[in-house]
Amino acid sequence: MKVSSKTALSYGLGSLGSNFIWVFILSYLMLFYTDYFGISAAAVGTLFLVARVWDAFMDPIMGVIVDNTKSKWGKFRPYLLVAPVIMAGLTVLCFLQPHISPAAKIIYAYVTYIMWGMSYSVVDVPYWSMTAAITDDPKERIKVVMVPRVMAIIGGLVVSVFTLPLVKALNSWFLVSLIYAVLCVVFFWITFFNVKEQVNVTRNEKFTFRDAFRVIKLNQPLLLLLLTMLIEDIVTKFRGGFGIYYFKYYLHAENLFPFFSLVSVAPVLIGAMFVPMISKRLGKKKTTIIGLVGYGVSYIALFFVGKSMIPFFTLTIVGAVFFGIATITMSSMIADCVEYSEWKTGKRAEGTVFSTNTFRSKLAGAIGGGIGAYMLSGIGYIPNHTQSGTTLVWMQLLFTIIPGILLLFSVVPLIKYQLTEGNYEKILSEIKMKRESNIAKAQ
């Protein structure tokens, strides 16, 4: 079924609002805690670790809850009406500065941040699960996925560019958090009122955690895709943590790091625009492989340009374009796995399928961040000192060749991925026949 531009744009605005909040918390909450609220970096690190572990398990739980939801608004939309308000309120609470004791500040941070993470899962899991309910046309799904992914990038850029100037102008983290919170709620409400669930499958029996485990276990395309995405995401996150050190100590160009951040993200939009054309001709699997291989090769090539800035930034832009191609296509492939699980198990479980992806993302963040910190320590890094020759060589390798090789390795699971467009169409046809048969029996 065709998806109108209004529907695609309205759906994408939810992602824009979500990423105002997500990037704001991800990029600035630690700075707020340590430099403004007066919590030690070690205490903040422990808080983030505890919260991430809980968040990782919260997503699958939320997936099962979503898959059991029935309402007059559908399975996913009810959460987009209420939950963003709660998430927005908790975002503002995270950036309050109550005048309390140091111990009370830590308790306050734990309560507000962990509750914020839970509220984010309540929004994020049904929002992305809704992708599979907007259309079951694989070509239209690319449009449905591409728009919110592009909006996510725009949201991240807006927060990265405007947050610190706004804090300085308003002299208040609270007011800045309130601005993002209000925008988040407004955009999610636009999604709620303008986007309808078109693919509906009535379930009479309760969907249990055992059902969820079986849906995941028997969904080989999903497991292969998640493995590829996990490797790619771990590489991206641990390399991202190395960026500022690479610029400061190896390139001696710390002032260029903000520009690097910009050219690492903005060209992703260009890559996203190529996805419909390339996937139409080659299919999603081959498009993803091209994107990941191009992304990996661009990293490896950086090693050979050394400290030459023009080739360095040129390759960074090229790599970002290939990354845009890969990430949009893989997101669309996740939605296709919903039909595969329905075909394989007889149970449609959008929430469960998409919760595995949000779980994967949080797991990659924890692993990638940990690897980056351990690697930095292992290569003999000394803060604010001239680094040894060995340390600098390892910095270069960990920023270029090593992540590049790992990205090429991430393609391996996709070799066995069999949910091609042709197979998907066959599966979709069989599913529709089963649905019609079930409806006829019920009558």
The answer to whether residues 65 and 351 touch, using CB atoms and an 8 Å cutoff, is yes
CATH of the domain at 287: 1.20.1250.20
Candidate from 15-19, 33-37, 119-123, 229-233 with smallest mean pLDDT: 33-37
For residue 441, being part of any structural domain is answered with no
For residue 89, being part of any structural domain is answered with yes
**Residues 407, 391: Cα–Cα separation, whole Å:** 23
How far is residue 73 from each of residues 8, 77, 78, measured CA to CA in Å? 18, 6, 6
The answer to whether residues 11 and 130 touch, using CB atoms and an 8 Å cutoff, is yes
CA atoms within 13 A on the CB side of 105: 18
Token pair listed for 334: 């996740």
What pLDDT score was predicted for residue 230?
94
- Whether the predicted pLDDT of 442 surpasses 60: no
Q: Where are the alpha helices (DSSP H) in 39-172?
A: 41-67, 77-94, 102-129, 131-134, 138-170
Specify whether 157 is located in the same domain as 279. no
Mean pLDDT, the chain, whole residue set: 86
Specify whether 382 is located in the same domain as 415. yes
Q: What pLDDT digit, counting tens, does each position of 362-373 carry?
A: 788 777 766 766
For residue 199, being part of any structural domain is answered with no
Looking at the structure of the chain, the number of domains it has is 2
Specify whether 122 is located in the same domain as 229. no
Last residue within a domain, chosen from 194, 224, 252: 194
The answer to whether residues 362 and 56 touch, using CB atoms and an 8 Å cutoff, is yes
**Residues 134, 8: Cα–Cα separation, whole Å:** 9
- Whether the predicted pLDDT of 339 surpasses 90: no
Specify whether 271 is located in the same domain as 185. no
Specify whether 292 is located in the same domain as 155. no
Q: Where are the alpha helices (DSSP H) in 131-219?
A: 131-134, 138-170, 173-194, 209-217
Specify whether 216 is located in the same domain as 312. yes
> CB 360: neighbour CB atoms within 10 A?
20
For residue 43, being part of any structural domain is answered with yes
What pLDDT score was predicted for residue 232?
94
Specify whether 35 is located in the same domain as 66. yes
Residue whose structure tokens are 């706004």? 166
Specify whether 140 is located in the same domain as 260. no
Specify whether 169 is located in the same domain as 41. yes
What pLDDT score was predicted for residue 226?
94
**Residues 264, 281: Cα–Cα separation, whole Å:** 27
> CB 128: neighbour CB atoms within 10 A?
25
For residue 203, being part of any structural domain is answered with no
For residue 302, being part of any structural domain is answered with yes
For residue 427, being part of any structural domain is answered with yes
Q: Supply the range of the domain harboring residue 190.
A: 5-194
Token pair listed for 443: 């009558």
What pLDDT score was predicted for residue 316?
94
Token pair listed for 120: 């984010």
Token pair listed for 219: 């969904």
- Whether the predicted pLDDT of 436 surpasses 80: no
For residue 201, being part of any structural domain is answered with no
Q: What pLDDT digit, counting tens, does each position of 43-70 carry?
A: 877 787 788 778 777 888 888 888 888 8
Specify whether 142 is located in the same domain as 10. yes
CA 179 to chain centre: 23
- Whether the predicted pLDDT of 409 surpasses 60: yes
The answer to whether residues 300 and 192 touch, using CB atoms and an 8 Å cutoff, is no
What pLDDT score was predicted for residue 2?
77
Judged by DSSP in three states, 377 sits in helix
Q: What pLDDT digit, counting tens, does each position of 210-252 carry?
A: 888 888 888 999 999 999 999 998 898 778 767 777 888 888 8
Specify whether 269 is located in the same domain as 318. yes
What pLDDT score was predicted for residue 80?
94
Last residue within a domain, chosen from 171, 194, 217: 194
Specify whether 230 is located in the same domain as 288. yes
